[in-house]
Structure 1
């Protein structure tokens, strides 16, 4: 069992989950926090009521999705189209991944004896595969950043 801490509004809540499910739970918590933020200055006197309203926002979106419709866009900041909803989901996933990476233990110290360059990467073929993966990761990061910038410009 693992525990993640979700921050929704002004409070943090520890939540137990199965090992390996931390990022998923954090992404779900980010969705709840997003709906909580929609309350703005219209917050209720108790946190339980505010969390209930956030849950109602999510339930309304789920009901619309199950009916085959789209999520309501009458709320300020609510997802009005599929692209915005997809960007918000991707943003929540990236935030959860970042939180998971920050919580991961530091990598062990390198061995004191330096290895030859070929041995370090497992030879030229392995080094080329690593370079290809790094390039793909960089392209993905750039695409995500561009999408987030576009989302920010449209928000």
Structure 2
């Protein structure tokens, strides 16, 4: 087992770990050291066991808060997934019926008659215009 020296709160400790886990140990020690340094800056020099206890409790508090957040996010995600599943399983809405009014044939006939009269008037005006030239 590898022996690793870690520094927490300005104090060095020799610890053993499994082969290949040295980087994890250094990472964990750095987190504990950050909390210990914060304690030392607020309280000053404190006995080693108390410093380690307080730093460990501060990390445990942060971990518990993160677990609560993760749990809350997981609950929200589950609710959203359930809503999504419900929406996906919901049958498609019935198509909307659209009614288009039908133009009565007499209106069409009347419009055609007006168009024919308009064309006749336009032709008569053109003829008079050519005759005047």
**TM-score, structure 1 as length reference:** 0.42
Which has the larger Rg? 2
Higher helix share: 2
**TM-score, structure 2 as length reference:** 0.48
